[in-house]
Structure 1
Amino acid sequence: MRTLVVGDLHLLGSTVLPLVTAKLSDLAVDQVVLVGDYFDQWSETGNSELYQRELVFLTDWVTALRAQGTPVVCLLGNHDVPYLTGSLSHYSSADPVVGRKISAGLFQLGCQLALKSDGYLLSHAGFVDTEAPEPWYFAPLSREHLSDLNRLEHNVGFSRGGLARWGSLLWADFDTELSGYFNPDYPRQIVGHTPVPQLTRECAGGTIIDVDTFSLFSNHRPIGNGDLLLLVEGRVQTISTDFIQALAIKQAQGDLFPPSSQNWF
């Protein structure tokens, strides 16, 4: 199995996913995994048309790839769950139309919480201490699990401003929680959630890899270099992209997060 893992998108799907498409054939990819956080971006929570356009791009991209025979696994992040549970955060879009469309879109995509692949456990933020995946984490989300999902979304550790000792698989901080205190039953994990400048791994007793290389600073400048991760038979390989160049071009054209007057639904 050759699995290509893509970090957090945060309304950058129309910038990032074409870069992923360009790699699929050359890498002979068998499946793609998106680690979640498809929505929300600094200073863009009021840009309803941007949210809608990016949702359409994401769903069309995933649908087309699946139709071509390449499975795409969509994991859920802490920025996605509020749209499913209705418990919106300060970083969520407050537009009720957007919220309903995103919720429907995430169900349509068959989003799930975790995936096991080639000896690695993949999730948005990782499993810390004694937290372990439950069977329903590995299947497309059902509405019967929304209350459990809401609990996980509100289980935030001290380092991320919460009251829990550790963050859940939606919230665990890579640097202060996951790296040093990962569940020893799952010593090989791949996560996003914590922005990093490049693919980052910790190997003290395990191999914990962070792929969140597409996140931006509050001024919309890149934190990471846009690396992807290729997982092949338990081995990992860094795949570089033209993310920095693509981002710079859109910024220069004023087209990074533009509103649109087109009716996308």
Structure 2
Amino acid sequence: MSRKLVIGDLHGGLKALIQLLDEINLSPKDQLIFLGDYVDGWSDSANTVSYLIELAKQNSCIFIRGNHDDLAHKWLETEEMNQKWLEHGGQSSINAYRNFSDEEKKAHIKFFKEMFNFYKDEEERLYVHAGFTNLHGPDFEYHDTGFYWDRTLWEMALSMKEDLTPEDDFYPRRLGHFKEIYIGHTPVTRIGETKPVKKANIWNVDTGAAFKGCISAIDVNSKEIYQSDPVYTLYPDEQGRN
């Protein structure tokens, strides 16, 4: 039986991703939806992208664009960089690409270009790295950058009363467009959690892989959760983004 599995932020933690997929016992029939931020953090950023390119040849994969992916893509194409990016993991990606050929870099640029800002499935579920702000839904968003930068969707969900339902007048209109929304971008470790967290109809699957957390996956139908070891334990000689 095929599964639909959503995987949170990776941040170059290839060893943890391989461990996670082994824990999942991945089948070629399974569909994988990655929520973005494949790079910037641990030393395997470039290797992670190479691995994902090969993985997509064996499994149905959806790759959502993260803010770190957008920044790394710009650097690969134009050498554009900024100090904030370098301070928040960008330098690790620059280092990771030093031994890559021009041909390999071209393949990675193609990978970055073909990512989705968001994806909607046939079950009225949305998959997006950060969120969206338009009350009419993501199709009406004014600026693409909001999909992979804006944190207000998650902040709104955290501030909502637990007993608020879609039938209530004060239920946010943004949330009413979908049965479920899956996001990454803001680690749940910031609220003291280590597993994917559901608030309202939003599942946050970023469990802090860039810092002291792990990489997580969730089966959207069964809600079974799979996790790697904390990524930093697999890269003991590195600092990540800590």
**TM, length-normalised to structure 1:** 0.63
The aligned length equals 204
String of CA shifts for 1:2-28, please: whole Å, max 9, x gaps: 21111111121x122202321443677
Which gives a bigger RCO, structure 1 or 2 (Cα 8 Å, sep 6+)? 2
Partner of 1:91: 85
Identity of aligned residues (%): 20
Q: Which runs of 5+ in 2 are unaligned?
A: 161-171, 189-193
* Paired AA for residue 54 in structure 1: S
The 5-angstrom pairing of residues 1-265 of structure 1 reads 2-12=3-13, 14-25=14-25, 30-41=30-41, 50=43, 53-59=44-50, 61-68=51-58, 70-85=59-74, 88-89=81-82, 90-92=84-86, 93=90, 98=97, 105-108=108-111, 110-117=114-121, 118-130=123-135, 132-134=137-139, 151-153=143-145, 168-173=146-151, 175-177=154-156, 179=158, 180=160, 181=172, 183=174, 184-186=176-178, 188-196=180-188, 197-203=194-200, 207-217=201-211, 222=212, 224-232=213-221, 236-244=222-230, 247-251=232-236, 254=237
Q: Is the 8 A contact 1:195 1:212 kept in 2?
A: yes
Residues 32-64 of structure 1, C-alpha deviations (whole Å, 9 max, x = no match): 1111112223xx7xxxxx3xx5313322x2233
Unaligned runs of 5+ in 1: 45-49, 138-147, 154-167, 258-265
Q: Determine helix, strand or coil for the equivalent of 1:72.
A: strand
Take 1:152 and 1:108, find their aligned partners in 2: how far apart are those partners? 18
**TM-score between both structures, scaled by the size of structure 2:** 0.68
Q: Given residue 21 of structure 2, which amino acid in structure 1 is its aligned partner?
A: T
Alpha-carbon distance, 1:76 to partner: 0.4
Q: Identify if the C-alpha distance between structure 1 residues 131 and 39 changes in structure 2 by more than 3 Å, giving closer, same or farther.
A: farther
* Change in 2 beyond 3 A, CA 1:97/1:190: closer
Return the alpha-carbon distance in structure 2 between the equivalents of residues 97 and 23 of structure 1. Answer: 26
How large is the RMSD of aligned CA atoms in angstroms? 3.5
Structure 1 range deviating more: 72-81 or 182-191: 182-191
**Separation of aligned partners in 2, 1:97 and 1:213:** 23
8 Å contact 1:227–1:238 — kept in the other structure? no
Q: 1:129 to 1:103 in 2, by over 3 A?
A: farther
Distance 1:40 1:26, change over 3 A: closer
SS of the equivalent of 2:20 reads helix
Query: 1:191: how far off?
Result: 0.3
- Distance in 2 separating the partners of 1:28 and 1:96: 33
SS state at 1:80 partner: helix
Residues 65 and 216 of structure 1, relative CA distance in 2, 3 Å threshold: closer
The amino acid across from 1:66 in the alignment is A
